[in-house]
């Protein structure tokens, strides 16, 4: 068990504002080399240069990088086993690999075991909060909620809605789906005790797999309770966008399919958003919704190059495993850097790391709780080795200023750099 009062020593890095694009010396960066973070009852209560007195237990990580736990805003629990599946684009990949893997989660034991492995893998990657897709099966959402509660994690999830264009065993219907959503919301959304860090997301897989009646039901759930999240996919792949245009000829755009039923709101997390137009971008900004940018998935499935600097709306970072190739957000941030390089832009380590921490927290309306190392926030903290192995160590040794050093860390680090991970003040890795 964690001591009630303890202090963590290391090089503390977090953000006090959103860093500007291209600014390597951003005033939004707060870096306190060799400081102590003070933690009481699972929350951060202060930070100081001086060693705390004897009344504080201590974890000494001098010479290591201390960051807020990462927030992965779009990832699929049942797809761990289809990560790294060869040779296709989105729609074919769903049919060949993803739907068969998800069908297995009808079995409650498989759902529970899958949730355990998945949540432990998130923590081992330095991700302490996530917005997660389970499967269409109610039990798969229950298993994630229970597993996250057991680990004290901040988790947003909800049973996947899909009542057409999916194989047998993976479809629901409007009435049963609504009953399942209402029951899960009653049990896991906005509750206290062990469930206090959980929240429900109305989870529309994507427009093609829901009938207009099911989309309307999902929108009605959101309108009835503004504290609910919504998660879905939008404008990921060109063949997908064409299909949506054929299925919903009355809609102005793919995003407009969701807008018409009230699914685009400030707690909406829409994955990908590559093939949006300017009207879509303005709508996302006006609604305060966020796009979960999924760089490793977008490269792996050949989906396209996301226009991050031109977004104008909230952008968070996501692994999208199993479309993505790593749960590690540093691996995904490197892919984000490469995508912008291909587009002629340069992603600083500050914009990148902010999106994976404070930016995501703010977009989720959880900025007071997660995403930073300030007094009052939950002690969701990861400690990283600055460099592992001779190549990274040689690079780290010659870094002259902070951005250079942190950018090299982001580019070369993965889950093997993780030295410790704390969730609400308790060590989990």
Residues of this chain that bind Zn ion (CB under 5 A):
271, 320
Judged by CB under 6 A, the residue of 9, 112, 137, 205 near ligand GUN is 205
Does 323 participate in binding ligand GUN (rule CB under 6 A)?
yes
CB nearer ligand GUN, residue 13 or residue 162: 162
C-beta closer to ligand GUN: residue 255 or 412: 255
Q: Which residues pair with 154 in a beta bridge?
A: 129
- In whole angstroms, how close is the CB of 301 to ligand GUN at the nearest point? 6
Nearer Cβ to ligand GUN, position 59 or 320? 320
CB of 184 to ligand GUN, least distance (A): 20
Q: How far is CA 11 from CA 62, 71, 97, 227, in A?
A: 7, 20, 42, 36
Rounded to whole angstroms, how far apart are CA atoms 136 and 159?
6
Looking at beta carbons, which residue is closest to ligand GUN? 323
Nearer to ligand GUN, 298 or 328 (CB): 298
- CA distance linking residue 3 with residue 12, whole number of Å: 21
Choose the one of ligand GUN, Zn ion, none that binds residue 98, judging by a C-beta under 5 to 8 angstroms depending on kind: ligand GUN
Q: Looking only at residues 355 through 414 of this chain, which bind ligand GUN when binding is defined by CB under 6 A?
A: none
User: Considering only residues 44-83, where is the footprint of ligand GUN by CB under 6 A?
Assistant: 76
- Judged by CB under 6 A, does residue 231 bind ligand GUN? no
User: Which of 236, 280, 385, 415 is in the footprint of ligand GUN by CB under 6 A?
Assistant: 236
Q: Of residues 97-116, which lie at the interface with ligand GUN (CB under 6 A)? A: 98
Contact 418, 125 (CB under 8 A): yes
**Comparison of 240 and 259: residue with beta carbon closer to ligand GUN:** 240
- Asked whether position 253 contacts ligand GUN by CB under 6 A, the answer is no
Q: 83 is written with which tokens? A: 């990560």
Tell me if the bond preceding 424 is cis, omega within 30° of 0: no
In the structure encoding, which two tokens stand for residue 391, read together? 């190549």
Find the radius of gyration of the CA atoms of the chain. 21
How many binding residues for ligand GUN (CB under 6 A)? 11
Count CB atoms within 10 A of the CB of residue 420: 18
Task: Choose between 94 and 228: whose C-beta lies nearer to ligand GUN.
Answer: 94
Q: Which does 90 bind (CB under 5 to 8 A by kind): Zn ion, ligand GUN, none?
A: ligand GUN
| Contacts with ligand GUN, residue ranges (CB under 6 A) | 76, 90, 94, 98, 205-206, 233, 236, 297, 320, 323
């Amino acid at each position: 068990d964690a001591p009630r009062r303890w202090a963590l020593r290391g090089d503390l890095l977090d953000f006090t504002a959103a860093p500007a694009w291209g600014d390597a010396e951003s005033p939004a960066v707060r870096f306190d080399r060799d400081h102590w973070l003070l933690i009481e009852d699972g929350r951060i209560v202060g930070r100081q240069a001086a060693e705390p007195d004897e009344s504080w237990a201590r974890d000494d990580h001098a010479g290591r990088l201390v960051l807020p736990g990462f927030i992965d805003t779009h990832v699929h629990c049942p797809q761990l086993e289809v990560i790294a599946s060869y040779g296709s684009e989105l729609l074919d990949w769903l049919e060949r690999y993803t739907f068969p893997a998800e069908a297995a989660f009808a079995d409650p034991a498989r759902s529970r075991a899958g949730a355990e492995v998945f949540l432990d893998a998130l923590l081992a990657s330095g991700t302490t909060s996530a917005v997660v897709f389970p499967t269409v099966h109610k039990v798969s959402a229950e298993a994630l909620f229970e597993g996250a509660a057991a680990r004290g994690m901040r988790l947003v999830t909800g049973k996947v809605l899909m009542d057409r264009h999916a194989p047998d065993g993976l479809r629901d219907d409007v009435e049963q789906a609504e009953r399942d959503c209402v029951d899960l919301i009653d049990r896991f959304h906005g509750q206290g005790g062990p469930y206090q860090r959980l929240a429900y997301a109305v989870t529309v897989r994507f427009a093609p797999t829901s009938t207009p009646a099911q989309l309307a039901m999902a929108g009605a759930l959101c309108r009835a309770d503004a504290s609910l999240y919504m998660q879905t996919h939008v404008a990921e792949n060109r063949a997908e966008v064409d299909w949506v245009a054929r299925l919903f000829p009355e809609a102005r755009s793919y995003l407009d399919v969701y807008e018409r039923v009230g699914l685009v709101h400030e707690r909406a997390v829409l994955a990908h958003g590559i093939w949006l137009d300017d009207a879509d971008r303005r709508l996302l900004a006006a609604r305060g919704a966020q796009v979960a940018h999924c760089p490793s998935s977008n490269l792996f499935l050949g989906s396209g190059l996301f226009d991050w600097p031109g977004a104008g709306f909230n952008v968070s970072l996501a692994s999208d495993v199993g479309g993505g190739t790593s749960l590690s957000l540093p691996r995904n941030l490197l892919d984000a850097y490469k995508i912008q390089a291909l587009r002629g832009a340069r992603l600083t380590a500050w914009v990148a790391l902010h999106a994976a921490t404070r930016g995501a927290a703010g977009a989720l309306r959880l900025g007071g709780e997660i995403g930073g190392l300030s007094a009052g926030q939950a002690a969701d903290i990861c400690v990283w080795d600055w460099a592992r192995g001779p190549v990274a160590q040689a690079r780290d040794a010659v870094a002259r200023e902070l951005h250079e050093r942190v950018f090299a860390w982001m580019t070369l680090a993965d889950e093997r750099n993780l030295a410790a991970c704390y969730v609400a003040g308790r060590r989990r890795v």
